[in-house]
Amino acid sequence: MKAIKITTPLTENIILNLKTGDEVLISGTIYTARDQAHYRLVKLLEENKPLPFDLEGQIIYYVGPTPEKPGEIIGSAGPTTSYRMDKYAPLLMEKGLKGMIGKGKRSVDVKESIKKYKALYFGAIGGAGALISKAIKSNKVIAYEDLLSEAVRRLTVEDFPAIVVNDVYGGDLYEDGRRKYENKYNNIK
C-alpha cells in the first residue's frame, strides 16, 4: 500500500479522508507529551489557564526520547503505550487536539471522542526509536524541562511514518487485524 502524505495542522478534510489501516507520512510541526505532561496540561485546562502551545488542529506524539548526544537533533524517539493518556485525551480533543501518535489500544471513551470531535489516532512502530528519529528534523523543549524525557517538545517532522488505528468512522485497526489473522498460524505449519 502506498503511504498518504499529510501535513499538520490537520484539517477536517484530511481527517475525514483517512481510514483505519491507511499508512501515512506526516510532515510539519507536532508536539510531544506523555504521562506527567498530560497531567499538567489537563490541570491547566481545568483551571482555565493557557497551555504552553495552541492545541487547535495539532498532533501530540506520545514519546519520551533518550537524551540527544552532542550534534544530534534528538535521541531515540519511538512511541510509548497510549492507554496511560486515555484519562486525559478526551478533554484535549474537546479543546481542539486533532491527532495522537502512540502505540496500543485506546479506551472506549477515547474512541468515542475521536468520532465526536473528529480526530485520528495513529500507531507508530514501538521499539523502532532509532529509525523513527530520522524523520525528526528539529526538536525544542517548550515546557516542563524539569520532567526530563517527559518534557513537552515542539518537533518538526518530515515523512514521519505512521498508520491510522482509529478513525472518525469507528474503525479500529487492532480489532480488524486480529480478527483477520485469528487461528491462521495453524494453517502455515
Partner 1 sequence: MRVIASEEISNAVKNLIINSSVNLPEDTYKSLQMASEKEISESGKTVLNQLLLNAGIAKTELKPLCQDTGLAVFFVEIGKDVAIADKNLTDAINDGTRMGYSEGFLRKSTCDPISRKNIGDNTPAIIHYDITNGDKIKIMYAAKGGGSENMSRLKMMRPSDGKEGVIDFVLETMKEAGPNPCPPNIVGVGIGGNFERSAIIAKKALFRKLGQINNDFELAEMENIIFEKINNIGTGPMGFGGICTVLGVHIIKEPCHIASFPVAVNIECHSHRHSEIII
Residue 87 is a binding residue for partner 1 (CB under 8 A): no
Helix, strand, coil % over all residues of the chain, rounded to 5: 35, 25, 40
Q: Which residue is catalytic, options 14, 34, 38, 123? A: 38
Per DSSP, helices labelled H in 58-152 are 89-94, 108-116, 129-132
Q: Footprint of partner 1 on residues 44-83 (CB under 8 A)?
A: 63-69, 72, 75-78, 80-81, 83
Helices (H) and strands (E) in the chain, counts: 7, 7
Site string for partner 1, 98-137 (x = CB under 8 A): -----xxx-----------------x-xxxxxxx-xx---
Asked if residue 9 has a cis previous peptide bond (ω within 30° of 0), the answer is yes
C-alpha cell at 33: 507529551
CB of 9 to partner 1, least distance (A): 25
6, burial (CB in 10 Å: exposed 0-12, middle 13-18, buried 19+): buried
38 an active-site residue? yes
For residues 152 to 171, the per-residue mask of contacts with partner 1, x marking binding by CB under 8 A and - elsewhere, is: ---------x-x--------
Residues that bind partner 1 (CB under 8 A): 1, 21, 35-36, 39, 63-69, 72, 75-78, 80-81, 83, 103-105, 123, 125-131, 133-134, 147-150, 161, 163, 173-174, 176-186, 188-189
Active site residues: 38
